[in-house]
Amino acid sequence: MVEIDRLEQLARRAEQLRALHRGREPLVLPNAWDAASARIVVDAGFPVVATTSSGVSASLGWADGEQTPADEMFAAIARIARVIEVPLTVDIEAGYGLAPAQVVERMIASGAVGCNLEDTDHAAGKTLRDPRRQAAFLSAVREAAAAAGVKVVINARVDVFLRTTAGAPSPIEEAIRRGRMYLEAGADCVFPIGVTDEPTIAALVDGIPGPTNQIASFRGGPGVARMRALGVRRISFAGGMHRTAYEALRTRVGAVARGEDGD
């Protein structure tokens, strides 16, 4: 049971996070994966900590893509929340098969006030969920959050660009259609993941009537400055920071294995 004072604190942080999606500047999120990396983000002056599911999963010894048991994921989130005093938004993939009320309960208990929820159906072999089904799920999460007293910020991930087959038509219109449905269902931001070119990003910003999220420098795509110019309101780095840190570690450990100092 979350104490009343703690609920009030989390409710304030949720509203702070929501407001940052509509500020003068975009919300920039260098994603963390554990308590130590979260502290680095806060110490650098960022007003929010966001997790990366791939980084958290890897740090726990699991593959990304809902392979991590929900108990382990939320325990890791709680460890991050314990060491920071800013809003925490978490990538909880498609919700690990939990019911909407359970998603909200586990988030609030762990100290998170925002989440990514994607429309990939992992149980069905990484296919796209029917958008009406996903919209109903998001709406139920929104209702459960309101009932719990913490109006968590929902970043609705749209996975059509990840699931497009070779030779298929551009998924832009489908991404916009899903984004509009998810906003109507109560999402605060739409995350059409997997986009690398500026014209598509601009079309999504123009076609989705709410804040959008993109990954900076994704597969050679635009960085933070260009994303800002294109009107993207939430700019994250996904697992990029985690991969950079671990590649540096891999390089140094390899040097030591070769008999070098590793400096």
- For residue 226, the domain's CATH number is 3.20.20.60
Query: Which own/partner contact pairs does 243-252 have at CB distance under 8 Å and 24+ positions apart?
Result: 245/37, 246/58
pLDDT single digits (tens) 116-168 = 999 999 999 889 999 999 999 999 999 999 999 999 999 999 999 998 766 66
Measured at the CA of 52, the angle between CA 59 and CA 243, to 5 degrees, comes to 60
**Residue 257: what are its φ and ψ, rounded to 5°?**
-65, -25
pLDDT score of 208: 98
Q: How sure is the predictor about 43, in pLDDT bands with cuts at 50, 70 and 90? A: very high
161 within domain boundaries: yes
Establish if 262 belongs to a structural domain.
no
CB 90 within 8 A of CB 107: yes
Q: What pTM did the predictor assign?
A: 0.95
**Average pLDDT for residues 66-73, to the nearest whole number?**
98
**The pair of three-digit structure tokens given for residue 179, joined into one six-digit string:** 């984004």
Q: Whole-angstrom Cα distance, residue 102 to residue 144?
A: 9
34 located within any domain: yes
Domain assignment of residue 16, yes or no:
yes
Q: How confident is the model at residue 261 (pLDDT cuts 50, 70, 90)?
A: confident
Number of domains in the chain: 1
DSSP strands (E only) in the chain: 27-29, 49-50, 88-91, 114-118, 120-121, 127-128, 153-158, 189-192, 213-215, 234-236
Percent of the chain with pLDDT over 70: 97
Model confidence band, residue 4 (pLDDT cutoffs 50, 70, 90): confident
User: How many whole angstroms separate alpha carbon 176 and alpha carbon 218?
Assistant: 20
Q: What pLDDT sits at residue 117?
A: 98
Give domain status of residue 140, yes or no: yes
Instruction: Classify residue 180: in a domain, yes or no.
Output: yes
Question: Alpha carbon of 126 to those of 9, 141, 251: distances in Å?
Answer: 36, 22, 33
* 224 within 8 A of 34, measured Cβ to Cβ: no
Q: What's the confidence (pLDDT) of residue 3?
A: 85
Provide the token pair at 201: 């990003």
Q: Flag whether pLDDT at 17 surpasses 70.
A: yes
261 inside domain: no
Cβ atoms of residues 154 and 186 within 8 Å = yes
pLDDT at position 19 over 90: yes
Please report whether residue 80 resides in a domain.
yes
The boundaries of the domain holding residue 145 are 4-253
Q: Is 64 exposed, middle or buried (0-12, 13-18, 19+ CB in 10 A)?
A: middle
